Structure 1
Amino acid sequence: MTAVRSKPLGVWMCAALVVGNMIGSGVFMLPASLAPYGWNAVIAWILTIGGSLCLAYVFAKLAGAFPRAGGPFAYTEEAFGRAPGFLVAWSYWISVWVANAAIAIAAISYLSVFLPVIAKVPALPALLTVAVVWTATAINCAGARSAGWTQVVTTVLKLVPLIAVAGLAVSVLLRKGPAAITPFEPSALSGASITAAAALTLWALLGVETATIPADKVKDPARTIPRATLAGTAFAGLVYLVVSSGVLLLTPTAVLQGSNAPFVDFVSYHGGGDFRLALAAFATISALGALNGWSLIQGELPAAMAREGVFPAWFAKTSANGTPVRAHLVSSVLVTILVLMNYAKSMADAFTFMALLSTTSTLFAYLFCSLAVLRLQGQGRMDRSKALTLVAALGALYSVWTFSGAGWSVTLWGLVLLAVGAPIYWLMRRAAR
């Protein structure tokens, strides 16, 4: 096998994977979920971007020290052993395929702008969501390089509407002045609202770790992954702060709340005319691009776990082009089941629930990887700089804080799904013995 074929992902593809997985459905759907929070959401964005940069630094350092495939699983195992590593990987895998369900729903939600019948027929959104999930699965089964080029193209395309929306927001401010902005009322700010909004905003920035998962397919992973991780996170955070906050503060809550396509409604409210259709098209492409990137992860992670011996070896089997097709198929079946179980909900409600569930499941990985840095420093296996210690501690505190924002109901679901992994780990260990 040639080097190009075995290591198909370079720095640009890895950066596109990070940015593309972050800037997907969240930037286009979250204004509807965040509308009730007003200025609390803007503060939440700032805190979330700060926390995500801490986590990005944590993963960059871990990737440089341990350039293994598997990401959160590999790092947690290095620090705490196989059992905690398995549970973190199990929880993270759950978060990925739940995220894919939410992203696919977002894609169909924006597609309903062109085809209003989608929102009117109860089962149609679920069926179309399943269809796009399996389309992304097919692209990824064609190989990591195919998925990588798809990610680069869709990442470039999704920036076009964001630039246009940012330009419209600036235009509105120039025409109407500060009066166009939602009034800032200090009395409306509250710790509970900021925390709840932060759980949603973190959904948008999930993905700081995605370049670490397929490390065995990355050229020079010790250098490429840290650079792509830090640059991608900083860029995505800036885009979210400018664009999402602009839409949120320049549009009445009544217009955004419950909207299936909040960016389109923002453009329509400010007289965007036919441009709203073009925007909906780009938003759909953006969500599909994110779905493509996360579909890559949903197959690579269980395959990496299988190669480590903590998941059935059946998942590690690959096709002629090195793709773990079996892992992709099982993950997409789970996505399909989740979507069909929630078909009765509105697209906005289904998106919010799945986004929170995915975020909660991912937080276990973020918390343990931050703690892993501190433990590995204590063992003398990582750089003992005070800066890294401080950032890792902040990453751990941020993860714990965000748990509370997700709410007890969603957190309980996350704990239940995590607990399901315990007997599977026990059965695997027993089989190994």
Structure 2
Amino acid sequence: MENGKKKLTLFQLIGISIAFYGSVRSVPTLAVVGWQQIFFMVGAAVLFAIPISLISAELATGWPEEGGSQVWVKEALGEKFGFVTSWLLWVQMFFGMVMVSSTVGVLLGYVIGRPDLSQNNIFVFAIIIISYWTVTLLNLKYDMDKVVGSIGSVVGIYIPFVALVALGLWWSFKHGIVNLGTLNWGTAIPSLSSVNKLSIFSGIIFIFAGLEIASVHANNIENPKKNYPISVFLSMGLLIIFNLIAGLTEANAIPADKIQLSNITQPFEVYFNELGLPWLTNVISAMIAIGVLAQLSAWVLGPSKAMIKVAEDGNLPPVFQKRTKRGVPITFVLIQATVVSLVGVLYVIIPDVNSSFFMILILTTILYCIVYLMIILSGIILKYKRPEVERAFTIPGGNFGMWITAILALSGTVITLIVSLIPPENTNPTMYLAVQIVGTIICVVSPLIIFKLRKPSWKKNSEDNAA
């Protein structure tokens, strides 16, 4: 589609992709498995990230209209499953936003010089409520993209990530191998006898969750047939290298049983204390907190904008179609904030902050995996159902290439779903399984019930629904 917009170069697309995935929040999840993170990260890339990126690019360049995965699934599997896709992407954000909001509480504990508060459930819960409602109300009133956009990314994501990698390398060169142990077959490959450790794979997969969104740029890149797969492999390679350096050096500096999954400031504290500059931990915590709040701000509107389009198609009652004068989907935004507050209660009822964080992370991953299963199936179905649709990027090898790519993606997604139901060590197995199974059933069944009960009168007419 030529619209006069300047095409992205290969290096610009690589930069956009790395910016989208780059975050220090994932590093503790990697660090906790030591050398095995190499196996898990490469496995996640080969069985998940790369094939999903390629399938999404083919679908995005064939059906580029706004709506992304919901449009692809609707085209392949029908309106019901298109609605389920939108619903799950919206609902999983509740859990994702609780998880991200919780890191604000951990960070603020360090900013104010009270690191003990990072493991205080009540404090973390209070900050989840305050931070999320604050960014919600600001988004209702102001255009926060202009306020926090690029500044939040540079201050809160790029600088801390580069600092974490550099400091980790410095600490490890200075002290040598301390907590990581020697690299051999036994330490690098997870043992099937300790299957509960495999549930970590789900958390590592989540590092790549949302990668289908980057595929929207596939239509706007020079020579997409050649450059898009190159950008996928290069950006994935760089992402893996940077995450592994940060994860391995943290695993070397902190014993595995002392790593706090929700505390991304922990390795910085070790490194800055070693440098005799403990006050820099407060500074970096404040910077990361700015980045987290900027990310939260973007998430407040992103999924709700997709959902209001589904609502206007008649899948939800008119009350869900209301917008503010600035076009903000007010009903969805307020529901998000309310549900995030309720999900945040997990931090109060589950005593261990690490367990709460991990349970929410895994539930988010399970919901995303269901969406990815529908995207993969859509890729195969549309290859046969709509072969006449021109795609600027197609997976090499025609139908055979699509099948190979889809089988890899299906393998990774199914493995992730299976291991997600294995309770990790030091977790109440009954509570863990209850959160995952009951949470998934509620999230999947509810859109099917709503779709069944929808009425023709719900479809939006031409009148303005602005609040």
TM-score, normalized by length of structure 2?
A: 0.77
Where do residues 229-268 of structure 1 align in structure 2 (5 Å cutoff)? 230=232, 236-257=239-260, 260=263, 261-267=265-271
Checking the alignment, whether the CA contact within 8 Å between 1:169 and 1:246 is kept in structure 2 is yes
1:280-319 alignment, distance < 5 Å: 280-319=285-324
Name the % identity.
16
1:350 equivalent among 339, 346, 356: 356
Structure 2's unaligned 5+ residue stretches are 423-432, 460-467
Shift in Å, 1:363? 0.7
Match of 1:395 in 2: 409
Q: Distance in 2 between matches of 1:313 and 1:234?
A: 46
TM-superposed deviation, 1:65: 1.1
2:211 alignment partner in structure 1: 208
1:327 paired with 2:332, answer: yes
Distance across 1 between alignment mates of 2:211 and 2:52 = 7
Superposed CA deviations along residues 260-280 of structure 1, whole A, max 9, x for unmatched, are 343334425755632322222
Cα distance change on mapping 1:284 and 1:113 into 2, 3 Å: same
Aligned residue in 1 for 2:173: 174
Q: 8 Å contact 1:21–1:293 — kept in the other structure?
A: no
1:256 Cα deviation after fit: 1.5
Deviation at 1:88, TM superposition (A): 2.3
In 2, distance between residues paired with 1:389 and 1:303?
A: 34
Distance 1:134 1:16 in 2: 31
Return 74-83 or 247-256, whichever deviates more. 247-256
What is the CA–CA distance in structure 1 between the aligned matches of 2:207 and 2:250, rounded to whole Å? 15
CA distance in 2, matches of 1:65, 1:322: 28
Shift of 1:199: 0.2
> In the alignment, which residue of structure 1 is the partner of 2:182?
183
Q: Residue 179 of structure 2 contacts residue 251 of structure 2 at CA under 8 Å; is this kept in 1?
A: no
Residue of 153, 156, 172 corresponding to 2:154: 156
Which residue in the other structure is 1:81 paired with? Answer: 78
Report the CA distance shift for 1:302/1:339 in structure 2 as closer, same or farther (over 3 A): same
In the alignment, does 2:287 pair up with 1:273? no
RMSD value over aligned CA atoms?
3.6
- 1:367-420, CA deviations, whole angstroms, 9 ceiling, x for partnerless residues? 110111011001114643544443233222211111112116254131332112
Structure 2 residue 370 is matched with structure 1 residue 369: no
Paired residues in the alignment total 417
2:430 counterpart of 1:415:
no
Deviation of the 1:118 alpha carbon: 3.6
CA contact (8 A) 2:51 2:409 kept: yes
- Structure 2: distance between partners of 1:366 and 1:149: 33
Change (3 A) 1:337 1:24: farther
Contact 2:89 2:371 (C-alpha < 8 Å) held by counterparts = yes
Summarize the Cα distance change of 1:340–1:180 in structure 2 as closer, same or farther, 3 Å threshold.
Answer: closer
The equivalences for 1:88-127 within 5 A come to 88-115=85-112, 116=114, 118-119=117-118, 122-127=121-126
Indicate whether 1:133 and 2:132 are aligned: yes
Say which is worse superposed, 116-125 or 167-176, in terms of deviation: 116-125
Q: Is the 8 A contact 2:102 2:124 kept in 1?
A: yes
Please say if residues 28 and 259 of structure 2, whose CA atoms lie closer than 8 Å, have aligned partners that are also in contact. no
Q: 1:414 to 1:118 in 2, by over 3 A?
A: same
Please identify the structure whose Cα radius of gyration is greater. Answer: 2
1:205/1:237 contact within 8 Å kept: no
8 Å contact from structure 2 (residues 172, 252) kept in 1: no
- TM-superposed CA distance for 1:202, in Å, is 1.7
Please give the secondary structure, in 1, of the residue aligned with 2:325. coil
**Shift, 1:121, TM fit:** 6.0
State the SS of the aligned residue for 1:373.
Answer: helix
- Give me the whole-angstrom Cα distance separating, in 2, the residues matched to 1:235 and 1:294: 25
| 1:167–1:283 CA distance, 2 compared to 1 (3 A) | same
Q: 1:98–1:118: structure 2 CA closer, same or farther, 3 Å change rule?
A: same
Question: Which consecutive unaligned segments of at least 5 residues does structure 1 have?
Answer: none
Q: Is the CA contact 1:147–1:296 (under 8 Å) kept in the aligned structure 2?
A: no
- CA deviation after TM superposition for structure 1 residue 241, in Å: 2.8
Task: Give 1:254 deviation, angstroms.
Answer: 3.6
SS of aligned partner of 2:65? coil
How far is 1:432 from its partner? Answer: 5.8
Note the C-alpha offset of 1:87. 1.9
1:323 to partner: Cα distance:
2.4
| Alpha-carbon distance between aligned partners in 2 of 1:333 and 1:13, rounded to the nearest angstrom | 38
Instruction: State the shift of 1:180 in Å.
Output: 6.7
Structure 2 counterpart of 1:404: 418
Q: What is the distance in 2 between the residues matched to 1:336 and 1:252?
A: 33
Q: What displacement does 1:79 show?
A: 0.6
Aligned position for 1:195: 198
CA distance in 1 between partners of 2:332 and 2:218 (Å): 23
Deviation of 1:324 (Å): 1.9
How far apart are the structure 2 equivalents of 1:139 and 1:240? 32
Distance 1:221 1:309 in 2: 30
Q: Contact conserved, 1:154 with 1:289, CA < 8 A, in 2?
A: yes
User: What is the CA–CA distance in structure 2 between the aligned matches of 1:20 and 1:134, rounded to whole Å?
Assistant: 26
User: Residues 73 and 81 of structure 2 are in contact (CA less than 8 Å); yes or no, is this contact kept in structure 1?
Assistant: yes
